[in-house]
Amino acid sequence: MRFGGSIVTRKQLLRLVELAELPHVTIQVLPFTADGVPIVNTPFNQIPSHGGFLETIQMDHASQSMYLHDPDSVAQYRRHFERLCGVALPPVDSSPSAVSRDVRDSLGLIQHVLYSHY
């Protein structure tokens, strides 16, 4: 989906590639054509905590944000996130050897969109 003009989109894509170089950041792209995508239409944030006691799932809705703390809900959304990661393209690897590979991955898709559309 496209939000903003071409210049904004190009800057966002370049920023994603830049952020992927950080050791604590993993970026995966989930194409619209991915098979086996679980049906959840609400974006959510998985907020971890040390020891897991305060782990929270946060979801924004039109009228308010919702926070889930109970272990069953947290486990359900953790499994959902793991399934999404499983069907997404492999994580962005911006190392020089990865950039020159001919592999379908998240970086390849970002580069394709960046250079063929912007």
Instruction: Note whether 20 and 50 are same-domain residues.
Output: no
Q: CA torsion angle for 24, 30, 36, 39 (degrees, to 10)?
A: 90
Q: Which structural domain range is residue 110 located in?
A: 1-34+90-118
Instruction: Note whether 3 and 21 are same-domain residues.
Output: yes
Q: Is position 83 within any domain?
A: yes
Instruction: Note whether 82 and 49 are same-domain residues.
Output: yes
pLDDT given at position 100: 55
Whether 19 contacts 25, CB under 8 Å? yes
Domain count, the chain: 2
DSSP letter assigned to residue 68: E
Phi first, then psi, for residue 110 (nearest 5°) are: -60, -45
DSSP letter assigned to residue 56: E
> What does each of the 118 residues of the chain score in pLDDT, given as a tens digit?
667 888 888 888 888 888 888 989 998 888 888 887 766 667 899 998 887 778 999 998 889 999 999 999 999 999 988 988 888 888 887 665 555 555 567 777 777 777 776 5
pLDDT given at position 7: 83
pLDDT given at position 72: 94
